[in-house]
Amino acid sequence: MSGRPLDVLEESLDEPVTVTLKDGSAYYGVLAGYDQHMNVVLEESLDDTMPGDIELEQVEDTTIIRGDNVVTIKA
């Protein structure tokens, strides 16, 4: 696996991810898309086993998160 951020995102497409934002909130869903600005599109995950290490909000519909707000994306 390459360490370049966009390559890592490419390998994580259609996989469940946790996106943590600057305000401390975190969202869990399937990575449906992204762009060169790290804007991400999450879709609802059919997997009910969300990571339990932080309080997460599971997306219930297609959700677009602006890259300026993203701190981490964890697969």
State the Cα–Cα distance between residues 8 and 25, nearest whole angstrom. Answer: 22
Distance of alpha carbon 1 from alpha carbon 14, whole angstroms: 17
Distance CA 52, CA 68 (A): 25
20 residue type, one letter: T
For β-strands 16-21 and 57-58, DSSP reports them as: unpaired
Residue ranges covered by each domain of the chain: 5-74
Q: How confident is the model at residue 53 (pLDDT cuts 50, 70, 90)?
A: low
Percent of the chain with pLDDT over 70: 87
Tokens linked to 40: 């991400």
Summarised one tens digit per residue, pLDDT across range 58-70 is: 888 999 999 999 9
Q: What is the model's pLDDT at position 26?
A: 94
Distance CA 57, CA 18 (A): 9
Query: For residue range 7-39, what is the model confidence (pLDDT) as tens digits?
Result: 889 999 999 999 999 999 999 999 999 999 999
Fold of 5-74: SH3 type barrels. (2.30.30)
